[in-house]
């Protein structure tokens, strides 16, 4: 039974097995209890032997005649009987088992063989003996004694006949009951138990408990369903945990955004009031105040732009409008503003080598957004006197754009979350680093919409390497 693994196959197998058992058992036990297709009651034997009795009475004086003997033997063989005819003096005048039995000097005990009415007696050498009087000219002259095998004869007893008839059915029903009991135990183990586990797990999930694992590893349809259900439970648990983390980070983000919006606005307001009140009373100081206002305004613009792009992405309205362009001029235009910006600043920007000139199909505005975000990210997390290295490598089917810095680096445990929305490294939460936590998430979305990929390599306090690919036409 262990090879029957599928619950559906178990049901079909046991139904077929039970029907086959019922049929075979009935045939076997009917033969055991009746042993032949035909059995006879006493009255039926009397009817069967009627023609034989008429033949005996008609040819009583010629029972030794060969034709009569052959006819009698042919008759009694039809119902598997043997025959003796014993006259009233106890002399055997005919024996179907011995044609030459007739002997004028051979007699038997008349008391056990001569009856003046029909009678029978069981268990004489496994035979049932039926005795019928032979009447010639209104006078009993002998008795015809028929011997039938015991297995072929039943008494004219209604209860006994019923018992003999239903005994095979009872035996078959017992076998069927045992078979069904085995089937039920197997069915309970392979079907009912996992269904109960599924129900229990579903109830626990409904209550919000997603920790209840389904323990059922059979390799069948139900086993695969249980594993799929358990996988769904784990995915739902992970999804809720991610959602909870996302919600927590969103709230932290709102708090930080409120701070990041309020701080530059307050600074801008203070410096504008300083200009209005004449605090900046010389050109050098005025220029300094204007530079601060410009920097804070640019921070606000980037923050608001990140929020706007994130909202567009969530609403499915983040458009990508591609066109085929050559990479060299495109990338040169994108990096040039940073060369000017950082030329005399505290950080050194290094552009390595000439850019490959291959045909790419990109949205120029979105690609520039990726490069701007990555370089701004490097500027933000690289201390003074550090370096930022920009390079482009030509691979067989794609361009690899790299931005390397010598900044603070990213912790190993944070690398798989660095491209998530609102995520900021634990070391930088609460510190004076502006930004929304959306820049890298937007970069990932844009790159993947172009059919590329983005990744990071980093070591703590040594710097980071951000790379993304652009498929070539």
- Residue 133: CATH number of its domain: 3.30.450.20
- CA-to-CA distance for 109 and 124, rounded, in angstroms? 16
* Residue 225 CB partners (closer than 8 Å, separation 6+): 198
205 in a domain, yes or no?
no
Inside any domain, residue 305: yes
Question: What is the extent of the structural domain holding 145?
Answer: 42-153
Residue 282 inside a domain? The answer is yes
Is 288 in the same domain as 348? no
| Same domain as 97, residue 123 | yes
Pick from 244, 166, 252: nearest CA to 208: 244
Q: Which residues of the chain have pLDDT under 70?
A: 1-19, 21-42, 99-125, 153-168, 172, 189-190, 212, 214-220, 222, 249, 252-253, 256-257, 259-260, 263, 310, 315, 317, 422, 424-436
Question: 130 has which bridge partners?
Answer: 120, 146
**pLDDT for the residue 259:** 62
Please tell me whether residues 19 and 166 are part of one structural domain: yes
Nearest Cα to Cα of residue 460 among 418, 412, 416, 388: 412
As a whole number of angstroms, the distance between CA 89 and CA 330 comes to 139
The pairing of beta strand 398-405 with beta strand 463-471: antiparallel
Single pTM value for the model: 0.46
Question: Do residues 380 and 284 share a domain?
Answer: no
- Report the CATH number that the domain containing residue 359 is assigned in CATH: 3.30.565.10
Whether 111 and 188 share a structural domain: no
Q: How far apart are CA 454 and CA 443, in angstroms?
A: 8
pLDDT at 3: 39
283 and 390 assigned to the same domain: no
165 lies in a domain? yes
Whole-angstrom Cα distance, residue 63 to residue 85? 9
Is residue 1 in some structural domain? no
- In angstroms, rounded to a whole number, what is the distance separating the alpha carbons of residues 193 and 223? 11
**What confidence score (pLDDT) does residue 157 get?**
52
- Tell me if 110 sits within 8 A of 89, measured CB to CB: yes
Instruction: Among 153, 170, 190, identify where a domain stops.
Output: 153
Residue 390 included in any domain: yes
- Are residues 131 and 101 part of one domain? yes
pLDDT of residue 167: 67
Question: Tokens standing for 125?
Answer: 């050498």
Q: What does the pLDDT look like over 68-104, one tens digit per residue?
A: 888 888 888 887 788 888 888 888 888 888 765 555 5
Is there a single domain that holds both residue 452 and residue 329? yes
- Based on the domain organization, do 81 and 137 belong to the same domain? yes
DSSP 434: -
Residues 32 and 81 grouped into a single domain: no
Write the CA distances from 233 to 65, 194, 205, 223, integer angstroms: 97, 15, 8, 15
Compute how many other C-beta atoms are within 10 angstroms of the C-beta atom of residue 14. Answer: 20
Please count the helices (runs of H) and the strands (runs of E) in the chain. Answer: 11, 12
- Tell me, what's the pLDDT at 257? 67
Q: Are residues 75 and 117 in the same domain?
A: yes
DSSP 250: H
Q: How far is CA 132 from the centre of its chain?
A: 76
Tell me if 216 is assigned to some domain: no
pLDDT at 405: 95
431-473 residue pLDDT tens:
455 556 778 888 998 999 999 999 999 988 889 999 999 999 8
A 10 A CB-CB count for 414 gives 17
Domain presence at residue 234? yes
User: How many domains does the chain contain in total?
Assistant: 4
Edge-to-edge, what's the strand order for the sheet holding 454-459? 348-351, 387-394, 398-405, 463-471, 454-459
**Nearest residue to 156 (alpha-carbon basis) of 117, 127, 128:** 128
Q: Are residues 247 and 334 in the same domain?
A: no
Instruction: Concatenate the DSSP letters of all residues of 307-337 into one string.
Output: HHHHHHHHTT------EEEEHHHHHHHHHHH
Backbone angles phi, psi at 389, to 5 degrees: -115, 120
């Amino acid at each position: 039974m262990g090879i029957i693994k599928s619950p559906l196959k178990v049901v079909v197998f046991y139904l077929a097995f039970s029907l086959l058992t019922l049929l075979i058992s009935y045939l076997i036990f009917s033969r055991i209890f009746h042993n032949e297709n035909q059995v006879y009651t006493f009255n039926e034997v009397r009817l069967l032997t009627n023609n034989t009795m008429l033949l005996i009475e008609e040819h009583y004086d010629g029972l030794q005649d060969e034709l009569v003997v052959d006819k009698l033997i042919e008759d009694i063989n039809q119902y598997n009987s043997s025959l003796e005819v014993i006259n009233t003096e106890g002399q055997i005048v005919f024996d179907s088992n011995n044609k030459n039995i007739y002997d004028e000097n051979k007699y038997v005990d008349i008391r056990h063989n001569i009856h003046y009415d029909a009678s029978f007696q069981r268990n004489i050498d496994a035979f049932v003996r039926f005795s019928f009087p032979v009447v010639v000219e209104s006078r009993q002259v002998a008795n015809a004694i028929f011997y039938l095998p015991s297995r072929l004869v039943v008494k004219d007893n209604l209860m006994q006949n019923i018992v003999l008839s239903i005994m095979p059915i009872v035996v078959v029903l017992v076998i069927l009951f045992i078979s069904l009991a085995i089937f039920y135990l197997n069915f309970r183990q392979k079907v009912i138990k996992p269904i109960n586990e599924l129900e229990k797990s579903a109830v626990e999930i409904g209550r919000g408990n997603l920790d209840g694992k389904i323990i059922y590893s059979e390799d069948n349809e139900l086993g695969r369903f249980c594993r799929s259900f358990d996988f769904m439970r784990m995915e739902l648990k992970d999804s809720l945990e991610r959602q909870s983390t996302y919600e927590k980070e969103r709230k932290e983000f709102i708090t930080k955004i409120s701070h990041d919006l309020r701080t530059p606005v307050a600074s801008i307001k203070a410096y504008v009031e300083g200009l209005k009140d004449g605090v900046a009373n010389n050109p050098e100081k005025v220029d300094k105040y204007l530079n601060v206002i410009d920097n804070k305004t640019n921070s606000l613009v980037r923050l608001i732009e990140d929020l706007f792009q994130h909202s567009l992405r969530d609403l499915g309205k983040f458009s990508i409008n591609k066109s085929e362009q050559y990479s060299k001029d495109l990338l040169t235009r994108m990096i040039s503003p940073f060369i000017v910006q950082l030329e005399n600043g505290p950080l050194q920007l290094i552009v390595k080598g000439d850019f490959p000139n291959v045909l790419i199909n990109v949205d120029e505005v979105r690609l520039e957004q990726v490069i701007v975000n990555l370089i701004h990210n490097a500027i933000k997390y690289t201390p003074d006197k550090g370096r930022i290295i920009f390079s482009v490598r030509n691979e067989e089917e794609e361009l690899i754009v790299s931005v390397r810095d010598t900044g603070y680096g990213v912790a190993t445990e944070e690398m798989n979350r660095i491209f998530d929305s609102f995520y900021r490294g634990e070391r930088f939460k609460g510190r004076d680093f502006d930004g929304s936590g959306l820049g890298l998430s937007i970069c990932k979305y844009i790159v993947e919409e172009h059919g590329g990929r983005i990744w990071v390599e980093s070591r703590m306090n040594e710097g980071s390497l951000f790379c993304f690919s652009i498929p070539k036409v």
